[in-house]
Amino acid sequence: MSFLTLDGLTRQWDGQGGVQGISLSLPRGDFLSVLGPSGCGKSTLLRLIAGLEQPQAGRIVIDGRDVTALPAAARNLSMVFQSYALFPHLSVAENVIFGLKVRRVARAERDRRLAEVLAMTGLDGLERRKPSELSGGQRQRVALARAAVAERPLCLMDEPLSNLDARLRHSVRRDIRELAHKLGLTVVYVTHDQGEAMSLSNTVVLMEAGRIEQIGTPSELYDRPATIFAAQFIGEPPMSLIEGPVLGYTAAVAVGIRPEGVLLAPPGRGDLDADVADIEFLGGETRLALSHPAARGLAAILPGAAQVGPGQTVGVIIPTENRLLFNAVNGQLEKEPQQNPRARIRQNTAPVDGHKAPTPPKPVKEDL
Where are the chain's structural domains?
Answer: 2-223, 228-343
Cα–Cα distance list, 211 to 73, 298, 352 (Å): 27, 28, 45
Q: Which of 228, 299, 290 is nearest to 258 (CA)?
A: 299
Give the pTM: 0.84
- Cβ–Cβ < 8 Å for 189, 33: yes
Residue 149 identity (one-letter amino acid): V
Cα 209 to Cα 42: distance, rounded to the nearest angstrom: 10
Cα–Cα distance list, 239 to 87, 214, 233, 234, 322 (Å): 44, 16, 8, 8, 11
Domain at 2-223: CATH architecture = 3-Layer(aba) Sandwich (3.40)
Each residue's pLDDT expressed in tens, for the chain with a length of 368 residues: 789 999 999 999 988 889 999 999 999 999 999 999 988 999 999 999 999 999 999 999 999 999 999 999 899 999 888 777 788 999 999 999 998 888 888 999 989 989 988 888 888 888 899 999 988 888 888 988 888 888 899 999 998 887 777 777 787 888 888 888 888 899 999 999 998 999 999 999 999 999 999 999 999 999 999 999 999 999 989 999 999 999 999 999 999 999 999 999 999 999 999 999 999 998 889 999 999 999 999 999 998 888 888 999 999 999 999 999 999 999 999 865 544 444 443 444 445 543 333 333 343 333 33
The contacts of residue 266 (CB under 8 Å, 6+ apart) are 314, 315, 350, 351, 352
Residue 7: phi and psi, rounded to 5, are -125, 100
Domain at 228-343: CATH architecture = Beta Barrel (2.40)
Cα 147 to Cα 332: distance, rounded to the nearest angstrom: 40
